[in-house]
């Protein structure tokens, strides 16, 4: 299989760039979150609920990554935070070198939290380091309660799981106990937050955890 | 960028294997469908609704691709059709060489239709030829009505779009007109089937189209 060493080279090059991202963020005292989930899991909606709660205490920047359009950046811009849209074209994830470029667009020394919304994809972004402090898995109840074991990579590695659209549970076959037992078979310890970005249910608990678990350098 | 020529080599190698798949299927008179969509869009549920309607007239085989588990194959096996599960591990799509191997597991000369359910992913599988006759895009209303333009590759290339979970529309912000206008900006002609695999709404129209548009060689 001739492609394996080459793939390793690409991953190694990305890792070096991810380390550059990490060094710049650490030097500036920025905590960075990499939000990963399928298209439509509600990653942007989660930012729309999370940012207004944190904005009073933290200086926030956002990177939006999508194959095409700047729709998500436009939604986030309405929250009055610094936002940069990355379009990956055919790319199924955002690589570290694009994050590194995007950092030039922010006043990092005046930033506490950086939220990065990855391309909608439960598979590819989970393996790729982009210099983030923590990976946050976002999943919608409409995707079904059997996803952790079918797509284990992300659920093994993430620092938190946000289960969105719990308001839809009564209209689907989703069973929270099945989801939890599926998740625990992969990851016994990761915090699970059941939320509805539509009704705001569960958002306060999730944001409180984020605030306490990952305080920016300025507040430590 | 050292990786570009290498990536081209990988794609070229895949293309050659896809052509081998296509030649074997054509020789045996098999029509093959590549179902592509996010995790939880309802690809397996669509097969569970489609296969029972077609089984009386067609000899059906199924390939299920997932990163891990054989859950989908188990669900399809309950329909009494030949099924093979492929686990791609960290792989974000099923490549042609795994399809080629899987074909050895079927009596192709006694098969009319081959349904291939790709790994749940709206991005990566859309560019990769696996020797299929047609690509079918599957999307759930819970994913939102803005997906065609955000993930245009699949919607540009597919032979049909199946919009699943229309029973959830009253409980979401999904607007069918917005989805259609978003889709038409990318692809003016592709047939759109609005269905609910939960209630069976729209399934008959979709299956009738499939039957007439892609008759297997034996019935032409």
Say whether residue B146 is in contact with chain A using an 8 A CB cutoff: yes
Q: What is the pLDDT of residue A7?
A: 65
Query: How much is the ipTM here?
Result: 0.90
The model's pLDDT over B49-77, given as tens digits with 9 standing for 90+, comes to 999 999 999 999 999 999 999 999 999 99
The model's pLDDT over A161-201, given as tens digits with 9 standing for 90+, comes to 999 999 999 999 999 999 999 999 999 999 999 999 999 99
For chain A, the average pLDDT equals: 94
Which residues lie across from A113 on neighbouring strands? A31, A60
Q: What is the pLDDT of residue A101?
A: 96
Residue bearing the bigger pLDDT, B181 or A9: B181
- The DSSP letter of residue A160 is E
Residues of chain A neighbouring B123 (CB-CB closer than 8 A): 67, 90-92, 119-121, 124
Q: How confident is the model at residue A140 (pLDDT cuts 50, 70, 90)?
A: very high
The residue assigned the tokens 């793939």 is A7
Contact A120, B122 (CB under 8 A): yes
Q: What is the mean pLDDT of residues A6-22?
A: 88
The model's pLDDT over A56-73, given as tens digits with 9 standing for 90+, comes to 999 999 999 999 999 999
For residue A21, pLDDT beyond 70: yes
Q: Could you say which residues of chain B have pLDDT below 50?
A: 1-4
Residues of chain B neighbouring A152 (CB-CB closer than 8 A): 67-68
For chain B, the average pLDDT equals: 94
Rounded to 5°, angle at Cα B134 from B36 and A140: 15
Question: What is the C-alpha separation between A202 and B89, in angstroms, rounded?
Answer: 33
Q: Do A38 and B144 touch (CB under 8 A)?
A: no
For residue A126, pLDDT beyond 60: yes
Q: How confident is the model at residue A2 (pLDDT cuts 50, 70, 90)?
A: very low
Residues of chain A neighbouring B119 (CB-CB closer than 8 A): 123
Q: How far is CA B171 from CA A129, B144, B174, in A?
A: 36, 12, 9
For residue A4, pLDDT beyond 90: no
């Amino acid at each position: 299989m001739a492609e394996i060493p080459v793939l390793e080279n690409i991953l190694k090059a990305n890792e070096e760039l991810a380390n550059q991202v990490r060094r710049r963020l650490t030097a500036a005292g920025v905590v960075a979150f990499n939000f990963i989930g399928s298209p439509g899991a509600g990653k942007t909606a989660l930012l729309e609920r999370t940012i207004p709660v944190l904005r009073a205490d933290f200086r926030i920047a956002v990177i939006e990554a999508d194959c095409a359009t700047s729709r998500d950046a436009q939604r986030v811009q309405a929250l009055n935070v610094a936002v940069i849209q990355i379009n990956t074209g055919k790319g199924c994830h955002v690589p570290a070198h694009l994050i590194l470029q995007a950092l030039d667009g922010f006043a990092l020394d005046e930033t506490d939290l950086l939220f990065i919304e990855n391309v909608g994809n439960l598979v590819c972004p989970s393996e790729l380091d982009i210099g983030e402090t923590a990976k946050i898995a976002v999943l919608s109840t409409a995707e079904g309660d059997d996803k952790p074991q079918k797509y284990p990579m992300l659920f093994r590695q993430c620092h938190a799981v946000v289960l969105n659209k719990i308001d839809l549970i009564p209209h689907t076959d989703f069973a929270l106990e099945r989801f939890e037992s599926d998740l625990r078979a992969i990851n016994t310890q990761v915090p699970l937050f059941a939320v509805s970005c539509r009704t705001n249910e569960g958002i306060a608990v999730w944001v409180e955890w984020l605030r306490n678990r990952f305080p920016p350098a300025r507040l430590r």
